[in-house]
């Protein structure tokens, strides 16, 4: 019964058209694709260089995805690879590696031919709409940049994949999957000539206009609130600009201008949320080495749009992104990024974590307090941990998750922000205030609010308050980067590097238990590091506070 209720609470957030598409997908047999007609390419189509999305190969038939490497015999690639995670198999079917200069042209051609020969229509992971969409774009890029024309069999296969995608657009999932489908339809509609291609172009163009307004928020952020997926969708926008600017495509110029404006806003947002090391914070499903790094994205945007990243400010700067719910306190090489936004779009929170009111903190340019990241997309203990409240720098109440996360991508009841603001007080200190309702389903309807006060001399005071009624237990987590250790003293803790240099002092300011635990850090898919967690805990009758201060160390040897 509890499982049924959990499922019902999850489904209640879906859109009616999404539910209809989910049902239709399950009851309707897979759509057949008509035989390919003469696959004629359109004249005047081209594309410029773009960043490679794949690390250099160690061999022509060697593949490294999610930090797992597998080398196949040149004559028999196992496109099914049943013993590997689904996301690894997806990457094999994406064909990002066609842009890898370390892999020979001969091998790339053999891989395309081998895929065509061993992946019959509609069978296996390679025919799911998401990998079809990525593969379409990657094949077209490869065909356009190669001196030799594509083989007729390649064009026939590409045409068939486009016809298949047209009938299997992911209206049941929406979000970034639908965006990818639309991008692929535009690519293939621009590349081919004829009535079918014109239809694909129209379908993709209408979808893109619709999803551009839906998925990119007024503050420039992608609505799934993951900087990794923001970067991926931003790259899609830049790729479209690249294709359309280099092609005689029958699209309205005002539409292209809109894509450029969206890309510029998304670039400013990405720049504003990066930590001093130039990389993204790891809130929600975000990890390094999946999307291109911000540096490479900015370089690509400079080539296409003349974009120039701002000169880093050395003085105090406050950045608020209220639509996506991120707030930044930046002062030179010190930076605090706070998450107080919705966990994602209500109808698709698959990449959401229990990280409301969590934060990442960099001191002197180094990540010191960090999010846990993401290890995999499997039904694994690591996946469950990475999404949990205790894996983030936020508060757990009575041992209950902020949001009802379950399965690999599902969320039932979820935390929603009540308020969030960032301002400078009359005394010059910076004040962030935020609250969410994730624990209102508990007896006494407690509300967690967090205030962060920053003093430019190098102190962050974090005050967690639990309002409501009744006795509750509040646990506030502080996760350190694996490069740092904690040394405990009578009244405070010091955060030190492995060679003994002090980075910060952490001190509780209210009565509470202080304990040191071990947890996990997943900066990349498939990578797992042990790290230290500080936990401030208190059981009391609401309302009550738990408060601690983080003060920059002087860099002296401990």
What does the pLDDT read at residue 265? 97
**Position 18 confidence tier, pLDDT thresholds 50, 70, 90:** confident
- Residue 443: CB atoms within 10 A of its CB come to 11
What residue spans define the domains of the chain? 52-172, 316-552
What does the pLDDT read at residue 301? 96
User: Residues 549-555: what's their mean pLDDT?
Assistant: 80
Nearest CA to 34 out of 167, 181, 170 is that of 167
List b or e across 302-328, with b for residues whose CB sees 16 or more CB atoms inside 10 angstroms: eebbebebeeeeeeeeebbbbbbbbbb
Lowest-pLDDT range, 22-36, 48-62, 316-330, 514-528? Answer: 22-36
What does the pLDDT read at residue 528? 96
Looking at the predicted structure, is the pLDDT value of residue 327 above 60? yes
DSSP structure class, residue 315: S
What does the pLDDT read at residue 556? 41
Alpha-carbon gap, residue 356 to 524, rounded angstroms = 22
In sequence order, which residues have a C-beta less than 8 Å from that of residue 83 and are 6 or more positions away? Answer: none
Looking at the predicted structure, is the pLDDT value of residue 555 above 60? no
Edge-first strand listing for the sheet containing 447-455 = 417-424, 430-436, 447-455, 459-467, 544-552, 502-508, 493-497, 484-488
Instruction: Determine whether domain 316-552 maps to CATH 2.70.98.70.
Output: yes
Decide: 207 and 153 in contact? Cβ < 8 Å: no
**Position 394 confidence tier, pLDDT thresholds 50, 70, 90:** very high
Alpha-carbon gap, residue 230 to 193, rounded angstroms = 32
Looking at the predicted structure, is the pLDDT value of residue 7 above 90? no
**Position 558 confidence tier, pLDDT thresholds 50, 70, 90:** very low
Lowest-pLDDT range, 194-198, 230-234, 527-531? Answer: 194-198
Alpha-carbon gap, residue 76 to 464, rounded angstroms = 58
**Position 499 confidence tier, pLDDT thresholds 50, 70, 90:** confident
Looking at the predicted structure, is the pLDDT value of residue 1 above 90? no
Looking at the predicted structure, is the pLDDT value of residue 482 above 90? yes
Looking at the predicted structure, is the pLDDT value of residue 557 above 60? no
**Position 4 confidence tier, pLDDT thresholds 50, 70, 90:** confident
Q: Whole-number mean pLDDT of the chain?
A: 92
Cα separations in angstroms, 552 against 241, 478, 499, 504: 44, 15, 17, 4
Encode pLDDT of 171-227 as tens digits: 988 899 999 999 999 999 999 999 999 999 999 999 998 999 999 999 999 999 999
Looking at the predicted structure, is the pLDDT value of residue 430 above 80? yes
Kind and range of the H or E run holding 11: helix 2-11
What does the pLDDT read at residue 252? 64
User: Residues 496-520: what's their mean pLDDT?
Assistant: 93
User: Residues 106-134: what's their mean pLDDT?
Assistant: 94
Lowest-pLDDT range, 98-107, 269-278, 328-337? Answer: 98-107
Looking at the predicted structure, is the pLDDT value of residue 25 above 70? yes
Question: What global pTM score does this model have?
Answer: 0.94
């Amino acid at each position: 019964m509890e499982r049924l209720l959990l499922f019902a609470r999850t489904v209640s957030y879906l859109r009616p058209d999404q539910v209809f598409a989910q049902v239709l997908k399950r009851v309707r047999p897979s759509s057949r694709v008509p035989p390919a007609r003469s696959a004629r390419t359109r004249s005047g189509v081209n594309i410029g260089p773009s960043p490679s999305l794949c690390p250099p190969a160690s061999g022509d038939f060697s593949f490294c995805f999610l930090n797992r490497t597998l080398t196949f015999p040149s004559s028999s690639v196992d496109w099914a690879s049943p013993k590997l995670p689904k996301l690894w198999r997806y990457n094999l079917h994406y064909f990002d590696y066609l842009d890898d200069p370390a892999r020979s042209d001969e091998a790339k051609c053999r891989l395309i031919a081998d895929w065509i020969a061993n992946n019959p229509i509609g069978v296996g992971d390679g025919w799911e709409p998401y990998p079809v969409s990525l593969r379409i774009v990657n094949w077209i890029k490869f065909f356009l940049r190669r001196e030799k024309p594509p083989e007729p069999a390649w064009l026939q296969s590409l045409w068939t994949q486009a016809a298949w995608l047209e009938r299997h657009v992911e209206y049941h999932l929406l979000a970034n999957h639908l965006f990818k489908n639309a991008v692929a339809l535009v690519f293939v509609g621009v590349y081919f000539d004829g009535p079918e291609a014109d239809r694909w172009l129209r379908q993709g163009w209408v979808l893109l206009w619709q999803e551009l307004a839906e998925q990119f928020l007024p503050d420039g952020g992608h609505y799934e609130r993951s900087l990794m997926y923001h970067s991926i969708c931003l790259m899609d926008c830049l790729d479209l600009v690249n294709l359309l600017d280099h092609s005689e495509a029958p699209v309205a110029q005002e539409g292209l201008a809109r894509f450029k404006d969206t890309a510029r806003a998304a670039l400013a947002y990405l720049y504003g949320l990066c930590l001093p090391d130039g990389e993204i914070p790891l809130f929600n499903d975000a990890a390094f080495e999946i999307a291109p790094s911000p540096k490479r994205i900015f370089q690509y945007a400079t080539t296409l749009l003349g974009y120039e990243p701002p000169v880093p400010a050395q003085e105090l700067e406050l950045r608020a992104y209220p639509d996506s719910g991120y707030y930044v306190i930046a002062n030179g090489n010190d930076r605090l990024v706070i998450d107080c936004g919705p966990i994602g779009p209500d109808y698709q929170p698959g990449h959401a974590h229990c990280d409301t009111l969590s934060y990442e903190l960099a001191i002197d340019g180094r990540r010191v307090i960090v999010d846990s990241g993401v290890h995999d997309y499997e039904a694994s203990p690591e996946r469950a941990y990475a999404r949990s409240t205790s894996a983030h720098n936020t508060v757990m109440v009575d041992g209950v998750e902020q949001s009802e996360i379950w399965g690999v991508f599902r969320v039932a009841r979820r935390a929603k922000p009540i308020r969030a603001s960032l301002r400078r007080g009359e005394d010059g200190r910076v004040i962030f205030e935020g609250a969410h309702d994730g624990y209102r389903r508990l007896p006494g309807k407690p509300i967690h609010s967090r205030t962060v006060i920053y003093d430019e001399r190098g102190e962050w005071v974090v005050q967690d308050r639990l309002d409501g009624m009744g006795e509750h237990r509040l646990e506030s987590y502080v996760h350190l980067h694996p490069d740092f250790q904690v040394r405990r003293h009578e009244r405070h803790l010091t955060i030190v590097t492995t060679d003994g240099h002090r980075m910060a002092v952490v001190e509780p300011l209210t009565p509470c238990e202080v304990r040191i635990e071990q947890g996990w850090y997943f900066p990349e898919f498939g990578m797992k590091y042990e790290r230290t967690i500080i936990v401030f805990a208190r059981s009391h009758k609401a309302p009550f506070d738990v408060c601690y201060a983080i003060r920059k160390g002087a860099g002296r040897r401990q």
